[in-house]
Every structure is written in C-alpha cells, then in structure tokens.
Amino acid sequence: MARYLDVHPDDPQPRLVTQAVNLLRDDALIAYPTDSCYALGFEMDSRTGADRIRRIRHLDDHHHFTLVCADFAQLGEFVQLNNAAFRAIKSVTPGPYTFILAATREVPKRLAHPRKRTVGVRLPRHAVAQALVRELGKPLVSSTLLVPGEDEAMTDGWAIKDRFDHELDAVVDSGECGTEPTTVVDFSSGYPEVTRIGAGDPSPFE
C-alpha cells in the first residue's frame, strides 16, 4: 500500500519532504507533482525503479528516462553541454521542458538510451519537485505519469493512490498540477530539435 503525503504546493513541509526522500533512498518508487504534470520518480541507485516504471507505462528499453536536477551545476555532471545548448536551456529554465543530451559516465548504463547513450534532463519550476531533488542531493530519475491508452495525465493525488496503490510506494500530493507533459527538445545531433510539443513554449527552439 502506497504512503500518502499531503505536501503544501508553495511551501513544502521539510518533515514530509524528508519522509519522501528517505523512502526514495530505500528503493521506493513515488508519484510526485511537477510544473507540467505528475511524474513517477526513483533514486539513481535504484535497481528496480526503471523496470517498475516500464511495467506501469508499458515502455520498451528505448524509453528516455529524465534526470530531474536541482540546478545547472548538478545537470552538468550528467550530460554533455556545449555553450550554445547551455545558453538555450538556461533561457527557458526552470520550466516545463525536457532536454535530450549525451550522457556522461556518471549516468548508469541502465538509465541511458542503449544505442545513443543519451538521457533526458529537466529543471522544473514546481516547489515540491525542487524540494525533493535538493533534499535527495542527486537527480531524481523520472518519467511522466501517463497511463497507457489514456490521452490525459492524471492530476489528482488520491486518484493516483487509488489506481496504483500496490505499484507505488508513495504518492506526494500538493493539489492539482497540469495535464500537459513537458515539451521535449533533442540536442543529441548538435542542434535543437523539438520532438514533442507540450507545456513549454517550443518557439525558442524552432
């Protein structure tokens, strides 16, 4: 049965953030809010998190997981950033964007694209997501909570707990967030290519 944590959307209670992070460090899979929509997340050292998300979302081995980072210093440890990409990403973050970039050796092989060695990275604006990543001290490996066969993301924490009570370890609820996933921009070919239009304005990359 999943733990339910009711967290303030603008001023997250440190006690509850610490509870969620302690679960993550104990190999938990959680649902948590972002500035686009709810996401599934696990700690980078987890050996089970990726497969659990693949089962829930019916994903194959080529799915790009996203490293949700606290800041550019942390992001720079895990992806290769040239000056042009850095400037372009900095101009729109924090915000509802995911960027695909070449992974560094700090990214476990099981989390990178098996052929391209790329990974998604994200700097969210949502206070709860930021608090979780800061307390964790490393990126939160994530994937949008999109249910197979459904067009819209789930937005209600209790509904998520009801539906995935036996597949998640915790649901972090801070009220409704968006229903649109992030806009995805792929920099892996050396230039920005918008591969999914979502909550973030794609025009700076078109």
Find the domain containing 48 and state its range. Answer: 3-205
Structure tokens at 89: 């990403």
Rounded CA separation 194/39 (Å): 21
The 3-class secondary structure across 44-65, one letter per residue, is CCCCCHHHHHHHHHCCCCCCCC
By DSSP bridging, strand 193-196 and strand 170-173 are: unpaired
Chain segment 133-178, per-residue pLDDT in tens: 999 999 999 999 988 888 778 888 999 999 999 999 999 999 888 8
- Confidence (pLDDT) at 154: 82
- Domain tally, the chain: 1
Structure tokens at 115: 């052929």
Q: Express as a percent the part of the chain with pLDDT over 70.
A: 100
Task: Kindly list the distances between the CA atom of residue 117 and the CA atoms of 86, 101, 135, in Å, as whole numbers in the listed order.
Answer: 19, 9, 28
Q: What is the mean pLDDT of residues 52-78?
A: 92
Could you identify the residue written with the tokens 């509802």?
A: 96
Q: What is the mean pLDDT of the chain?
A: 94
pTM over 0.75: yes
Q: What is the mean pLDDT of residues 75-97?
A: 95
Q: What is the mean pLDDT of residues 56-68?
A: 90
Residue 16 exposed, middle or buried by CB count within 10 Å (0-12, 13-18, 19+): middle
CATH number at residue 144: 3.90.870.10
- Confidence (pLDDT) at 148: 86
- Confidence (pLDDT) at 146: 87
